[in-house]
Amino acid sequence: MSQRVVVGMSGGVDSSVAALLLKEQGYDVVGVFMKNWEEEDDTGACTAENDWRDVREVCGLIDIPCYSVNFAREYWDRVFSYFLKEYQAGRTPNPDVLCNREIKFRAFLDFAMSLGAERMATGHFVRRDEAGHLIRGTDPGKDQSYFLYMVHQEQLRRSLFPVGGLTKTEVRRIAEERRLPVSRKKDSTGVCFIGERNFKKFLSEYLPARPGDMVSTEGETVGRHDGLMYYTLGQRRGLGIGGRGDGRSWFVVGKDLEHNRLLVAQGEDHPLLYSSLCLAEDVTWVGEAPARKGETFRCTAKYRYRQPDQPVEVTWEEENLLRIRSLQPQRAVTPGQSAVLYDGERCLGGGIVTRVLDAGKISI
Question: From the candidates 59, 192, 278, 299, which is the catalytic residue?
Answer: 192
What values do phi and psi take at 292, rounded to 5?
Answer: -90, 160
Q: Please, are residues 79 and 99 in contact by the beta-carbon 8 Å criterion?
A: yes
Bridge partners of 299? 312
> What is the secondary structure of 265-311 as a DSSP string?
EESTT-GGGEEEEEEEEEEEESSS-SS-TT-EEEEEEESSTTPPPEE
What values do phi and psi take at 240, rounded to 5?
Answer: 70, 25
Instruction: Kindly state the helix (H) or strand (E) to which residue 173 belongs, with its residue range.
Output: helix 168-177
Active site residue 46: no
Question: From the candidates 99, 278, 299, 347, which is the catalytic residue?
Answer: 99
How far apart are alpha carbons 2 and 278 in whole angstroms?
A: 49
Active site residue 347: no
Which residues, including other chains, have CB under 8 Å from residue 81's CB and lie 6 or more apart?
Answer: none
How far apart are alpha carbons 64 and 59 in whole angstroms?
A: 5
How far apart are alpha carbons 324 and 341 in whole angstroms?
A: 10
Q: Which residues are part of the catalytic machinery?
A: 99, 192
